[in-house]
Amino acid sequence: MTEENTARIVVVLNHDDPQSVMAALVMAAAIAATGDQVLVFVQPGGARILAKGGLDKYKGLKGLPDPQDLFEAIQVLEGRIILCELGLPVWEMKAEDLVEGVEVMMASTFLFEAEGAKMVFSY
């Protein structure tokens, strides 16, 4: 896809229950695979999945792909994974606790990044 044909699509993750996490990762990886730009915005309720080893508890869920593979696919396909900065103090985490490549930003800044998004999915 050419840059002018690339859509920006947002996936918001609000929770860290298996259904929400896996749905968000599957959708984000699928969006990235189409060539569209995916922005995954993780709210404080889902922040712990972005800590090193945070996806381990979602491995081996019956019938679902490996969450780490999905996460890496999103990154390889130039998707952006962004944590709301409030997720750090809520879970007493620091930026260095996060998986490499995760961005941290204020919700207001994210809204500017997401401006013009073609679609928004929320889990």
Nearest CA-CA partner of 87 in 123, 32, 47, 31: 47
Read off the pLDDT of residues 96-105 as tens digits, 9 standing for 90 and up. Answer: 999 999 999 9
Q: Where are the domains of the chain?
A: 3-122
On whether the pTM is more than 0.85, the answer is yes
Burial zone of 77 (CB within 10 Å; 0-12 exposed, 13-18 middle, 19+ buried): middle
Burial zone of 73 (CB within 10 Å; 0-12 exposed, 13-18 middle, 19+ buried): middle
What pairs with residue 40 in β-bridges? Answer: 11, 81
CATH topology for the 3-122 domain: Hypothetical Protein Ychn; Chain: A, (3.40.1260)
What pairs with residue 122 in β-bridges? Answer: 12
Read off the pLDDT of residues 21-56 as tens digits, 9 standing for 90 and up. Answer: 999 999 999 999 999 999 999 999 999 999 999 999
